[in-house]
Amino acid sequence: MTRRRAVRLSPAAARTMLDHARRERPRECCGLLVGARGRVTVAVPMRNLAGGRTRYRVDPYGHIALLRVLRVIEPAATIVGVYHSHPRGPATPSETDVVEALYPDWIYVIIGLQGRRSETRGFTIAGGSVQPLSLRRG
């Protein structure tokens, strides 16, 4: 039986992700999600090192720099996930997204820009299994 999890997404994090996705279109954007205990408080845009328009790869130097900052801030926060966009597609994980999901405890957020309205959806991805998350604003 699949158990759904809810994640709180701050309005600032939601806006940052959507603005980043729109700015980077037609390429995919990507970034890291910072928070604690089922709550995403900050979305941190990262450089996408993948070539082409349909893949993403978070800049490892940016990732390491963020980890260093998080070690010294109070209250404590950590990287809880990653986000990326699908500039011409739905907010669902592609086969590549599933295969390349290396952190089973992370939240994977996808911003789909297909059609007139954007859609933001969250997932857990572990061992090839994709489970939807309920993203609650607040």
The pLDDT confidence band at residue 35, using thresholds 50, 70 and 90, is very high
Range of the domain at 24: 5-137
Whole-prediction pTM value? Answer: 0.93
Q: Domain total for the chain?
A: 1
The pLDDT confidence band at residue 2, using thresholds 50, 70 and 90, is very low
Rounded Cα–Cα distance for residues 39 and 26 (Å): 29
The pLDDT confidence band at residue 105, using thresholds 50, 70 and 90, is very high
Question: Rounded to the nearest 5°, which phi and psi values hold at 43?
Answer: -105, 130
Measured between alpha carbons, how far apart are the two ends of the chain, in Å? Answer: 28
Could you give the angle at the alpha carbon of 111 between the alpha carbons of 44 and 1, nearest 5°? 105
Q: Domain holding 96: CATH number?
A: 3.40.140.10
